[in-house]
Chain A
Amino acid sequence: MKKLFSLLLLMFTPYAFFAQEQPQMADAMRQDGKIYVVVTVLTIVFVCLATYLVIIDRKLKKLEDKK
């Protein structure tokens, strides 16, 4: 039984090492959900700027309509 176990351990050891050699990614950030904070902040920043552009566009329309 012990022999069989060590054989299995030997067989799967390479896979464990290969798994570690994968390129590092920000997996932790995804797991604990902090990435949503980043996405929310960036979306708010962009939407605010875009809304400002809408306001400028509407003000311009008023100027154009004024004779």
Chain B
Amino acid sequence: MSSWWWKIAGILLVVYSIVMGFLGEVPRLDILNETIRNLYFHVPLWFAMLVQMGISWIFGLMYLTKYNPKYDIVSSRAAYVGGMFALPGIITGSVWATYTWGKPWVAEDPKLQGVMASMIVYCVYYLLRALIPDAQKKARISAVYNIFAFVMTFVFIMIYPRLAPNSLHPGNGGNPAFGKYDMDNNMRLVFYPACLGWIVMSCWLLNVMSRIKKLEYKKEFHEEII
């Protein structure tokens, strides 16, 4: 049971963020009102997604140096798990935006443009993997594509919105960051554990998905992955 402690820690962190996310003190702000609590649930999804895409990138690079299929398995599963976190991230963002910015999709917002672009980049990755039948070719081409995909995503989501002149997202385009005005120390006590908890949960999902894929691989090729 030695590998269980971090999974249980992930559950406890998320439960803590749910309990304290609703019961904790938050600053009283116009327009946001109680919806500022969404910060504990919407933003960690994106952090988890970025971590998964980063893991996918690193294992893609490792695959290209060793050509061991186990790296390709982890790399591709991480990209799928990352996509599974981006989806609720975008939906919750739309719901939040409807009631604070007035409409579900503000096309002028550079963060949303960046997210849209990186979603398309990863859709192409999923398409590539779905369309190439040969396992080795699939692994190599998608690993090479992945190098660009993650760098593009990082630029689109983390750098471009900060350089762009205007953004509705806090911390981007000259807007004051959450850390500066909106988020006080009470919120930080919930926000950071929430981010960590969701990142751990995404790693657990990656762990389970990779192990399933390894079993499938073993069944298909009748060889163990070392």
Residues in A lying within 8 Å of B, measured CB to CB: 22-26, 35-36, 38-39, 42-43, 46-47, 50, 53-54, 56-57, 60, 63-64
Contact = CB atoms under 8 A, between A and B. Distances in A.
A47 B33 CA distance: 28
Interface of B: 7, 11, 14-15, 18-19, 22-23, 26, 28-34, 204-205, 207-208, 211-212, 215
Nearest to B31: A23
A41 B32 CA distance: 24
A46 B14 contact: yes
12 contacts: A23-B31, A25-B33, A39-B18, A42-B22, A43-B19, A46-B11, A54-B7, A56-B208, A57-B7, A60-B208, A60-B212, A63-B215
Majority secondary structure, B binding face: helix
* A-B residue pairs, 3 tightest by C-beta: A50-B11, A23-B28, A23-B30
Given A23-B33, A26-B34, A53-B208, A35 B11 contact: no
Nearest to A24: B33
Given A50-B11, A57-B204, 5 more contacts: A23-B30, A35-B22, A39-B18, A47-B11, A60-B215
A57 B28 contact: no
Contact of A38 (B7, B22, B28, B33): B22
Given A56-B208, A57-B7, A64-B211, A43 B18 contact: yes
